[in-house]
Amino acid sequence: MSGKKRRIARRRREALAHDRSPADRAAEIRRRRRRRVRPARVVLAADRVWLVAETRPRWAARAARDCEAAGIPTFEPREEVELTSPSGRRRTARVPLLHRTLFVGLRDDDDLARVEGHPGIAHVLFRDGRAVVIAPSVLQAFADAIIGHGGGAEGGDEEAVTALLFALGDDVRVTAGPLAALRGTVEGTDPARRRYRVALSLFGRETPVVLDEDQIARD
């Protein structure tokens, strides 16, 4: 009990010292400043067939671990950021860059069956009846570009990979924001900002709306 009283007293003293209430100070600590940190280079297996899998909500990290344990290499694009509180305490977090997206490197149909059978995998991306395959060199250049190890000589690699996720003409639904549940068609892409122009049916006509990548999902 005495220890709890001391903690409460310390918080009150800190609040008075900073001329703010304990609740305001706690809220400020939660609003941490982010700064991009360059992580180690990710080297992808060049002898695998790389496909795109969409995971179920909050399953990406676990699905990646399980696939790796089964001998199936994966790549989930993440950005390492350093979070700093006003008190100076720092920690590093890895934040996903692509919403519920996991790249998987397969050897054969058995690997594909394992991936599709995982409870955290919603589906593997197919287009016109064929799996969307990404060349290892293109995916490696994409990984280098987003992590910060690429020289940018290829130029179009990031756009080429991102365009596979939501291509022009794809039917999508809005998953977040005031337009949630509406459906539309992708008619423009901005890979650099990860935004898409989607034609939604509003007020009885097609209305173009710009949405972030994490606000839409394949219909």
Report pLDDT digits (tens) over 78-122: 766 777 878 888 877 777 777 788 999 999 999 999 999 999 999
- Are 72 and 105 within 8 A, CB to CB? yes
As a dihedral over the C-alpha atoms of residue 28, residue 29, residue 32, residue 37, rounded to 10 degrees, the angle is: 160
pLDDT at 152 over 50: no
The closest of 93, 101, 90, 176 to 132, measured between CA atoms, is: 101
Per-residue pLDDT reduced to its tens digit, 16-60: 555 555 445 445 544 443 444 556 778 899 999 999 898 998 899
| Whole-structure pTM value | 0.56
For 129, residues 6+ apart whose C-beta sits below 8 A from its C-beta are none
171 torsion bin: left (phi>0), alpha (psi -120 to 50), beta (else)? beta
219 or 45, greater pLDDT: 45
User: Within its chain, how far is the Cα of 1 from the centroid?
Assistant: 44
Assign 2 a pLDDT band (cuts: 50, 70, 90).
Answer: low
Q: What are the backbone dihedrals phi and psi of residue 159, each rounded to the nearest 5 degrees, phi first?
A: -65, -40
d(CA 30, CA 46): 41
pLDDT given at position 25: 46
Residue 129: count of CB within 10 angstroms of its CB: 5
Neighbours of 184 (CB within 10 A): 25
3-state SS, residue 79:
strand
Q: What is the pLDDT of residue 189?
A: 72
Radius of gyration of the chain (CA): 22
- List the single range of 7-16, 92-101, 125-134 with lowest mean pLDDT: 7-16
